[in-house]
Chain A
């Protein structure tokens, strides 16, 4: 159970963080799931798929944090629009 090939922009030699438990793992121990607020692929320990509780609450909590991050970014953008008198600032 392992990720064997990744897009070229991901450095496979480094340990990567599981978005569910926060542990650093080699790519071989990870599985692909949701994407984060920036559109990047989130990876989680392959072992989390075995436990329904970890699987369900883990991805749900991750989705909540990503949704909050998106809402914060949107609020910041609105704030910048207010400062710029209606002009979008990127």
Chain B
């Protein structure tokens, strides 16, 4: 676990969870593949997609509110990236995506190139250690407890 960051974030409900993941993911979207482990992939996928679109609209508002040409260019780039980010509830063996939302059944192996792993289910230290070893160098494991 010596090469990976671990971060603990609070868990207070499904809506708040998708909101928090969307906000955190905003800063991590450039860093390779993202995996979210949850007991309800379909539900979280729908909620996260909604929060992601909402955040996209906030970026559009920020872009419209500034006269700084460099910032406008950067926010345009960000928006394009956000709109092209793909979410999937399928196993990495079945579908290529940027963000995988999986339950324990489908998470047989952490996909290669995973830089961010969100564990929304309670995992013991041994499981977290295994995840930490599977995540790329300088990657991040976020736990919700």
Interface residues of chain A, those whose CB is within 8 Å of chain B, are: 1-8, 31-35, 39-41, 44, 49-50, 52-53, 55-57, 59-61, 63-64, 67
Is the pair B71, A7 in contact by a Cβ cutoff of 8 Å?
A: no
**Most chain A beta carbons < 10 A, residue from B5, B10, B55:** B5
Is the pair B31, A34 in contact by a Cβ cutoff of 8 Å?
A: yes
A34→B28 CA distance, assembly (Å): 6
- The contact size tier of chain B is 20 to 34
Is the pair A53, B27 in contact by a Cβ cutoff of 8 Å?
A: no
Q: Which 9 A-B pairs have the closest CB atoms?
A: A33-B27, A5-B6, A8-B2, A49-B23, A52-B58, A60-B74, A56-B62, A32-B140, A4-B6
Residue of A nearest to B7 (CB): A3
A1→B75 CA distance, assembly (Å): 27
Is the pair A34, B59 in contact by a Cβ cutoff of 8 Å?
A: no
Interface residues of chain B, those whose CB is within 8 Å of chain A, are: 1-10, 20, 23-24, 26-28, 30-31, 55, 58-59, 62, 66, 70-71, 74-75, 78, 138, 140
Is the pair B74, A63 in contact by a Cβ cutoff of 8 Å?
A: yes
Contacts of A53 in B (CB 8 A): 62
Residue of A nearest to B73 (CB): A64
Contacts of A60 in B (CB 8 A): 62, 71, 74-75, 78
Is the pair B8, A31 in contact by a Cβ cutoff of 8 Å?
A: no
Q: Which of B30, B71, B75 contacts A34 (CB 8 A)?
A: B30
A57→B71 CA distance, assembly (Å): 8
Q: A34-B27, A63-B74 are in contact. Are A7 and B4 (CB under 8 A)?
A: yes
Q: A4-B8, A5-B6, A8-B2 are in contact. Are A56 and B27 (CB under 8 A)?
A: no
- A and B contact pairs by CB, cutoff 8 A, 20 listed: A4-B7, A5-B5, A7-B3, A32-B27, A32-B28, A34-B31, A35-B138, A40-B138, A41-B140, A49-B20, A49-B24, A56-B26, A56-B75, A56-B78, A57-B62, A60-B71, A60-B74, A64-B70, A64-B74, A67-B74
